[in-house]
Structure 1
Amino acid sequence: MLARGLTTQTISCQLLERFQEFTGEFPWQWRPMDIEEFLAGLRSGEKPISLTTLRSYNNAVAMF
């Protein structure tokens, strides 16, 4: 992320921490269906996230 010009204040691991709490597993144990279930829950909640946010979350986990 630093190579893309983002500052350290911009880079946040909160999403990855939330995802790890959701799965209850280490990153090397994450499966594709875990991210699908995580994002589906965020998309169907009381305040659903937008498709743009969903894509950025998916990309953030994939880049990790």
Structure 2
Amino acid sequence: MKIELNNEETLNILHALRSEFMSVKLYFEENQNEQERIGVTTPEEIRDTYNTILKQTKEEFPMLNYIK
């Protein structure tokens, strides 16, 4: 799927995903019970989405080459 975003929108999405990743990672560390995790996006899924968006946009937005 191709989504057209400008620099600011892309950075906002990446920032939101990174913030969500940190929150979910902490939640998973604090809640080891599988029942409490049902329906919650895993940190790995968020990380993979973040990395996919970052990889796809680095060619289009050279300034993103500085983000890791």
Taking structure 2 as the reference length, what is the TM-score of the superposition?
A: 0.30
Which protein, 1 or 2, shows the higher relative CO under an 8 Å CA cutoff with sep ≥ 6?
2
More helix by share: 2
Structure of greater Rg: 2
Taking structure 1 as the reference length, what is the TM-score of the superposition?
A: 0.31
